[in-house]
Amino acid sequence: MGDGLQRPAGYRRALTLRLLAAAAVVLALTTCLTPLSASAQDWSPPRTVFVPTTGHTTDGLFLDLWRAERELIGDPVTEEIHPRTNFTATKDAGIVQYYENVALVYLPDEEPENQVQLVDLGRQALEEAKTAGASRALDRALERSVCAPAVAGACVNIVASGHTIRGPFLDRWQTADTATWLGAPLTESFIAPDGTRVQYFENGIFRQTATGEVEPLPLGSVAAKRAKIALEPIDQPDDVPTYDEELFIPPPDATPVDEGDGAWSLGPGPQQGAWKEVVVSISAQTMWAYEEGELVMSSLVSTGTAEVPETTTPVGYHSVLAKFDAQTMEGTISGEYYRVEDVPYVMYFDNNGNAIHGTYWHSNFGAPMSHGCVNLPMDVASWMYGWADVGTAVSVIS
């Protein structure tokens, strides 16, 4: 998402954000960028990992879904890309990444719970099959059908599509959140030319193996090849760990970020009593967003290192003064010059150049890393940029 979707190094080239050359503001940007060294951090889970089975990374919201639905989605076979054309019937695609069985798309303008969606590769594959000349078996499978009363429980009618799901296909479709992600059936199950039984769904195809198991076909890999997208493994970025689920288990002496069942802490609550308010805790390296007093977002952040006054995130009551899609940030602090282009989702909260913004150049959230700004993972920053209007209260507490 990069990773800011948190992105690994090199993502900036793929992030085609508009550069806003506002000279007067750029001159004020003397406090925000990451220094060359950082202090030790408390534990926090990675937002980007390298998957050695395919030689690609996954991060941010894509990482979250991949961990939850790896068997359905498969491993990443490309890096994230910005497509030139629509990937869905009604929406312009944002960031797209192909996995073995599906393609994921990040749509930042959607509601947070809908920002990650599956591309309708199953529908596209069905249209290709029909164009190439459908077999008799597929022709029959395209006919609408209903379950017979005698097979109730082993067959489900999907009224929206006019098709049914039966037997082992139904069992697999009803596993966890598979139905949500795979979508509705577009055909009945039928015998494909290779002799296996298959069924088309909106976002993928299921196949029954000789042992009776139902598994997704690798449509993501096929679609990526047809789109001539590079599938070759990349070199593992230096700052991205190899995936291991143990990376997401806090050590015994770590300060917990969540409460018991994994829900984010409700935090300290609004400090200014505003309708919308962002609260940043320097000691917890955490941000909470509240709307009408209710928590709507929480994330680890990186505030200023406080090595000198100029790199200290200012404690106090502030508000969002100005917003920019992207900007070049440069300046000199303690004799050190820095310049970073296309800093995304910038929201200034004081007149000294301190801002909340997305961060693609590190994934060390939970530790002080900046020159005074509040660094956010890119997916969180994208959401915040759409949610927080100019004037939104920003409270920085110790």
For 238-248, the pLDDT digits (tens) are 888 999 998 88
Tell me what pLDDT residue 265 has. Answer: 59
Stretch 243-260: mean pLDDT, rounded? Answer: 66
Tell me what pLDDT residue 31 has. Answer: 42
Mean of per-residue pLDDT scores for the chain: 81
Q: Is the pLDDT of residue 139 over 60?
A: yes
Tell me what pLDDT residue 322 has. Answer: 93
Q: Is the pLDDT of residue 255 over 60?
A: no
pLDDT classification of 251: cutoffs 50, 70, 90: low
Q: Is the pLDDT of residue 3 over 60?
A: no
Lowest mean pLDDT segment, chosen from 39-43, 80-84, 165-169, 364-368:
39-43
Tell me what pLDDT residue 77 has. Answer: 97
Stretch 141-170: mean pLDDT, rounded? Answer: 88
Question: What kind of fold does domain 21-42+250-397 have according to CATH?
Answer: L,D-transpeptidase catalytic domain-like (2.40.440)
pLDDT classification of 44: cutoffs 50, 70, 90: low
Whole-model pTM above 0.85? no
Q: In the numeric block, which tokens belong to residue 174?
A: 């009803």
Stretch 258-263: mean pLDDT, rounded? Answer: 39
CATH 2.40.440.10 segments of the chain: 21-42+250-397
pLDDT winner (highest mean) among 122-136, 206-220, 325-339: 206-220
